[in-house]
Amino acid sequence: MIVEYGHLAVALALSLALVQAIIPMFGAYHGNVRLMRLARPVAIGQLLFVSFSFGALIYAYLGSDFSVVNIVKNSHSLKPLLYKISGLWSNHEGSLLLWALIIALFGALVAIFGRGLPLSLQSRVLSIQAMIGVGFYLFLLTTSNPFLRIFPFPDEGRGLNPLLQDPGLAFHPPFLYLGYVGLSVSFSFAVAALIEGKVDAAWARWVRPWALLAWVFLTIGIVLGSWWAYYELGWGGWWAWDPVENASFMPWLVCTALIHSAIVVEKRETLKSWTILLALTAFSFSLLGTFIVRSGVLTSVHAFATDPERGIFILGFLGAVIGGSLLLYALRVDKIEKGSIFAPISRETGLLINNLLLCTGVAVVFFGTLYPLLLDAMTGDKISVGAPFFNKTFVPLMMPLIFIMGFAIQLNWKRADIKAVASRLKFIFGASVLAAVMIFYTMDTDNFMAALWFGLGLWLVLATFADLFKRIGLGKSGNLLNKIKRQPRATWGMFFGHLGFAIAVLGMTGTSNLSQEFQNIMARGQKIDIGGYEVTFEGAKAEVGANYTAVRGLFTVREGGEILTKLEPATRTYITPYQSTTEAALYTALRGDLFIVISEEQEILIDTKKTSVFGVRIYHKFMQVWLWIGMIIMVVGGLFSLSDRRFRIGVPLKSLFAKKNKIRAGE
Amino acid sequence: MNLRKIIPLLVFAVLFAFLFRGLSLKPRVIPSVLIDKPMPQTVLPALMVSEISKTGIGFSTDQITAKGGLVLVNFYASWCPPCRIEHPALLRLQKLGYKIYGIAYKDKPEDAQNFVDNLGNPYVNIGVDLKGKAGVDWGVYAVPETFVILNGRVIYKHFGVIHEQDMEDIEALLDKAKTSQQEKK
């Protein structure tokens, strides 16, 4: 019965969402405070109902209730607990329920933490948020019901895809969705601002934490997916420019632009309509990504079961949400006051260039991703656009971005003195150029671009530190520790955000250009040299697991004659469903990852003697770990910046408590 | 109205039109140049000398064309995991009464034999394409691939595994071909 209650709860959440969508908006239009006040409790109520519904499905998953179609398809009684739960969002219907839950969650968060907002703005934001929710509830109730029963029901589930049973992948979708859906909040704020015709510093201050939160989640989600692909799929790649990867990368890029342009609105009250447009676009890309993944319009390795009926539903929803908001933008953007002017050399300009480069990047990724569809629609030709296109177009665009980043953070608002900044940075610039030249001559191959990228990465690291030292006044009198403590969290946010990005750039450059690869058969006792290590194949043994058989190889890794570590990669062959997976073995060092993959045994003739050999791939992924470390530092930066803003979100809450205390004291 | 304000909306309108068009396109389906053409001339030795084929010929386009009717030609290999996934669908089609010819693509004969011995044999007969020459002639670039042949002409090509959700389409197609064939008679 609980499954039916769960289904019913979705319907009830839908009706609450309808109330929340219509009444507060109506109230805000007429200035009716009582109607506007309705938004908060209803938003929280809506969350309670979806949570119940979500909980009901989890409960059914945990109990392996195979009378539910969704559970038959995506779970199995032998699955470990974690993967029973993650089975829920590994499929279209379940992940939609998660989307709906997160939309309601963010709505409730705005209701709870947004008490400091003007009532009319908050009501409108919650109303828009509920409108988006309505779309998802309708989707769940019409074409994608995760609570559907089956009769007669099977004894066992079918979903035991071993590739997907991995912690990296279990948490990848929820974080990604938190990011995608998190962008709905800035979207709702942008639409509400267009309706009210008012965008000011306060508005930007309310929007920015939500955009930052979404950015943090999106970053974590993308990194988890990339990390999983890297160590689980066994080809040592971390990004393939697949349409579905691009679908998550585009909102990330727009969101990155948004959190920067919102600073300009906050500090200088300019670039307002641009920021509004970014907020609309960021969430639009989230929805577009959903459409790309689930409608089957593009071929991708990330296949959700696709269905044209769903495609039409999402497209209709896309049209209503994006088309509606852009129409509103066209009609109302004039109501927004023009901002203050700024000089061509100023921090505003720096941030504007950053935005333009990021958006050009988005346009390039967007075009490359959808080009196969455009061509097919126009001429019927089938092509695919792969990594070479993006490496030639998107990647070079990031070069000026990084160079300007180093400069722009040192520029003052409104009008900056370029000469002073240039003279401050000339040593750093010289050092970076020198380092690039030295790297160029020490590399075995003439890889000019790699050297340039290393130089750029170093430039950004040094410039970021130089800016921090200037801010805390290093070298001037005063207690250094106190000066460090006095820095606002936002400074640390920027410092770690930029530093992490620079380190990730160094890692990407290293792993893309200086990695080594060995791919051949190996017999027992054979040795190879790779990446400064000596790897010896000691042999392999067969293993039998619960539902698979495996070959496990043993490799000894030596550096300068000393044994560093022993690695045991395996390849597993599962019986139901038939599938083989590689369990790569990794040895991580700052210098690079040693990554070994083994495949099944073969017998070949060596000197007329039958010898057993194994297919082996060994990679040395140069500086790979820098990429992950850089990304983690970026997330830390986002959290620092967020904690600075939360202070602001918390202010109204504190005053509320203060008021309550006063009332109590008055008694 | 100022043009600048409506640019985002216009861009989206164009995109929307393309996405809508995209829904009715099938990006995974790569059209075969063989459609509506006779099968490429192919003669392959039999994997096993069975009752039906004592001649040692496993697959011959001339024989199939001469017999006429509706047949399926399935390229498979024992080393191809998706072929294992597809196998039950082929067995089901066989049960429904369809004639399926197998072509063991770049596979050792003993492995190809083991494959059908272990999983069941849906094929009328199996030809051995050891070097993949027939695969080249037929334009096969990844097994499994399945061709639908009506009176010696290719009428449809299914690329990749015949999944459960493809079965309806395939069956509908075969039904249609069957009825059109009967009407002609």
What pLDDT, in 10s, does the model give residues A27-81?
999 999 999 999 999 999 999 999 999 999 999 999 999 999 889 888 888 888 8
Domain final position from A115, A132, A165: A165
Contact call for B9 and A376, based on CB within 8 A? no
User: What is this model's ipTM?
Assistant: 0.84
Cα distances from B124 to residues A515, A640, B50, in angstroms, run 50, 68, 10
Tokens describing residue A485: 């403590």
The reported pLDDT for the residue numbered A645 is 52
Domain boundaries, chain B: 32-184
Residue A653: band (very low, low, confident or very high) from pLDDT cuts 50, 70, 90: very low
Q: Which of A471, A476, A459 is nearest to A398 (CA)?
A: A459
For the stretch B124-166, pLDDT in tens is 889 999 888 888 888 887 788 999 898 888 888 888 888 776 7
Domain contains A132? yes
High-pLDDT (> 90) share of chain A, %: 55
CATH of the domain at A27: 1.20.120
| pLDDT higher than 70, residue B11 | yes
Residue A128: band (very low, low, confident or very high) from pLDDT cuts 50, 70, 90: very high
> CA A290 to CA A180: how far, in whole Å?
9
> CA A244 to CA A307: how far, in whole Å?
17
Question: Would you call B81 an interface residue with chain A, using a CB distance cutoff of 8 Å?
Answer: yes
Measure CB to CB from residue A291 to each of B5, B19, B24 and give the nearest one: B19
The reported pLDDT for the residue numbered A7 is 95
Substitution target in B20, B29, B35 with the highest count of A β-carbons within 10 Å is: B20
Domain contains A95? yes
Tokens describing residue A63: 């109990």
Contact call for A297 and B25, based on CB within 8 A? yes
Question: Would you call B3 an interface residue with chain A, using a CB distance cutoff of 8 Å?
Answer: no
Domain final position from A165, A186, A221: A165
Q: What's the number of domains chain A is made of?
A: 2
Measure CB to CB from residue B25 to each of A319, A323, A377 and give the nearest one: A377
Q: A658 or B119: which carries more pLDDT confidence? A: B119
Length of chain A: 667
Contact call for B19 and A315, based on CB within 8 A? yes
Contact call for A330 and B1, based on CB within 8 A? yes
- Mean pLDDT (chain A) is 88
For the stretch A367-413, pLDDT in tens is 999 998 888 888 877 777 888 899 999 999 999 999 999 988 888 88
For the stretch A229-264, pLDDT in tens is 888 877 778 898 988 889 999 999 999 999 999 999
| pLDDT higher than 70, residue A601 | yes
Chain A positions contacting chain B at CB under 8 Å are 277, 280-281, 284, 291, 295-299, 305, 308, 311-312, 315, 318-319, 322-323, 326-327, 329-330, 333-334, 370, 372-374, 376-377, 382, 577-580
Tokens describing residue B131: 């070097």
The reported pLDDT for the residue numbered A472 is 85
Domain contains A418? no
High-pLDDT (> 70) share of chain A, %: 94
| pLDDT higher than 70, residue A225 | yes
The reported pLDDT for the residue numbered A52 is 97
Backbone conformation region of residue A102, classed left if phi is above 0, alpha if psi is from -120 to 50, else beta:
alpha
**A555: which strand partners?**
A537, A567
Instruction: Give the H or E element holding residue A42.
Output: helix A39-62
Residue B101: band (very low, low, confident or very high) from pLDDT cuts 50, 70, 90: very high
| pLDDT higher than 70, residue A502 | yes
Where b means 16+ CB within 10 Å and e means fewer, B28-47 reads eeeebebeeeebeebebbbb
Question: Would you call B9 an interface residue with chain A, using a CB distance cutoff of 8 Å?
Answer: yes
Contact call for B20 and A315, based on CB within 8 A? yes
CATH of the domain at A571: 2.60.98
Q: A600 or A316: which carries more pLDDT confidence? A: A316
For the stretch A147-176, pLDDT in tens is 999 888 888 887 767 777 778 778 898 999
Q: Which of A16, A288, A9 is nearest to A127 (CA)?
A: A16
Q: A382 or A130: which carries more pLDDT confidence? A: A130
Are B75 and B82 contacting, i.e. CB atoms less than 8 angstroms apart? no
The reported pLDDT for the residue numbered A244 is 86
The reported pLDDT for the residue numbered A501 is 97
Q: A107 or B175: which carries more pLDDT confidence? A: A107
pTM: 0.83
CATH number belonging to the domain at B32-184, selected among 3.40.47.10, 3.40.30.10, 2.70.50.60, 3.90.550.10: 3.40.30.10
Are B38 and B153 contacting, i.e. CB atoms less than 8 angstroms apart? yes
Q: What chain B residue is nearest to A363 in terms of C-alpha separation? A: B11
Residue B74: band (very low, low, confident or very high) from pLDDT cuts 50, 70, 90: very high
Residue A665: band (very low, low, confident or very high) from pLDDT cuts 50, 70, 90: very low
High-pLDDT (> 90) share of chain B, %: 13
Q: Under 8 Å CB-to-CB from A505, ≥6 apart: which residues?
A: A398, A402, A453, A456, A457, A460, A630
Domain contains A23? yes
Domain final position from A585, A604, A622: A622
Question: Is the peptide bond preceding residue B144 cis, with omega within 30 degrees of 0?
Answer: yes
B 82-111 near A (Cβ less than 8 A): 84-85
Question: Would you call B141 an interface residue with chain A, using a CB distance cutoff of 8 Å?
Answer: no
- Mean pLDDT (chain B) is 83
Substitution target in A254, A291, A373 with the highest count of B β-carbons within 10 Å is: A373
Question: Would you call B14 an interface residue with chain A, using a CB distance cutoff of 8 Å?
Answer: no
Domain contains A538? yes
| pLDDT higher than 50, residue B71 | yes
Contact call for B25 and A305, based on CB within 8 A? no
| pLDDT higher than 70, residue A146 | yes
Residue B53: band (very low, low, confident or very high) from pLDDT cuts 50, 70, 90: low
Q: Under 8 Å CB-to-CB from A219, ≥6 apart: which residues?
A: A179, A252, A631, A634, A635, A638
The reported pLDDT for the residue numbered A643 is 86
Contact call for B27 and A308, based on CB within 8 A? no
Find how far residue A497's CA is from the centre of its chain. 15
Are B9 and A326 contacting, i.e. CB atoms less than 8 angstroms apart? yes
The reported pLDDT for the residue numbered B159 is 81
Q: Measure A545 CA to nearest chain B CA, in Å.
A: 20
Q: Under 8 Å CB-to-CB from A205, ≥6 apart: which residues?
A: A266, A645, A648
For the stretch A471-482, pLDDT in tens is 888 777 777 788
| pLDDT higher than 70, residue A307 | no
The reported pLDDT for the residue numbered A269 is 86
The reported pLDDT for the residue numbered B26 is 67
Residue A146, domain extent: 1-165
Tokens describing residue A584: 């790569």
Q: In this structure, what are the phi and psi dihedrals at residue A415, rounded to the nearest 5 degrees?
A: -145, 130
Q: B181 or B74: which carries more pLDDT confidence? A: B74
Domain contains A65? yes
